[in-house]
Amino acid sequence: MNNTVELKNLVREKYSQIAEQSKEHNAASCCGAGGCSTIDYAVFAEDYSKLHGYHKDADLGLGCGLPTEFAQIKPGDTVLDLGSGAGNDCFIARAITGETGKVIGLDMTSTMIEKARMNADALGFNNVEFRLGDIEHMPIAADRIDVIVSNCVLNLVPNKEMAFKEMFRVLKPGGHFSVSDIVLDGNLPDQLKNAAEMYAGCVAGAIQKSDYLQQLSDVGFVDLIIQKEKKINLPDDILSEYLSLDEIMTFNSREDAILSITLYGKKPEKPACSCGSGSCC
């Protein structure tokens, strides 16, 4: 499956299902997607429960990192969460940016947006907003965002270059992002690359780490720093859905790796004027 529309519909369908499930149910599936029925939650996700602003009803057991912990959010910032789900990272960000800031959650799944809005209403937050839309075509004006966060979502976007361009567009000059995502260091077997369920499960949609960094650099981001990196080991009982026993042994013996990274990048400040006046010419 490589048609963009089909891929988006697949992700939308799977994450609509996830929105209706408990964290415990999602914890027993591959990135919550339901296609990998026995993968341990801890393989991908990390524990949010000790972070200030944590709201249990917004934690669906998704993600592959803790981007808000590394995002250098300041009081008063405007923060954008890409693929905001039920609002987990938004509420953590709101605890940092405070009442003087603003948090916008963007998600393409209407069921997730409804769940997130219900959670925000229950918490009485009037500066957390959830918008329905695609990351490749964000319903957000240019130069409005101080900090972008995202947790295990950009790997699901078919056109990553367009997503990165949109991130660059909406960030203020000098603004930055901190995103947790799945990338590759080496190659996946074709059976995993081509499995639709593994795409919705955050693996098959991943690209090479070097390509990921290069695309962000080509868009214009600077000061790219990997803030955290860990190897993801898929259990054999999951791999057995796609690979033979010999293929699993070969796959596990290779140096190729599926990685969870948390990555920082910055949009450059506007260049200083060189025309001799106090404002741009």
Question: Which CATH number belongs to the domain containing residue 143 in this structure?
Answer: 3.40.50.150
Residue 274 belongs to a domain:
no
What's the total number of domains in the chain?
1
Q: How confident is the model at residue 58 (pLDDT cuts 50, 70, 90)?
A: confident
pLDDT at 168: 98
pLDDT tens-place string over residues 66-108 = 899 999 999 999 999 999 998 999 999 999 999 999 999 999 9
pTM of the model: 0.84
- Interior/surface letters 59-89, b for 16+ CB within 10 angstroms, e for the rest: bbbbbbbbbbbbbebeeebbbbbbbbbbbbb
- The boundaries of the domain holding residue 142 are 4-266
Instruction: Say which residue, 181 or 17, is predicted with more confidence.
Output: 181
* Over residues 222-240, mean pLDDT: 88
Residue 124 belongs to a domain:
yes
Residue 205 belongs to a domain:
yes
pLDDT at 31: 45
Beta strands 222-232 and 171-185 are: unpaired
Residue 219 belongs to a domain:
yes
Report the chain's mean pLDDT, rounded to a whole number: 83
How far from each other are the two terminal CA atoms of the chain, in whole angstroms? 50
Residue 277 belongs to a domain:
no
Instruction: Say which residue, 221 or 35, is predicted with more confidence.
Output: 221
Residue 271 belongs to a domain:
no
Residue 32 has pLDDT above 50, yes or no: no
Residue 167 belongs to a domain:
yes
Residue 184 belongs to a domain:
yes
pLDDT at 273: 55
* Over residues 105-118, mean pLDDT: 93
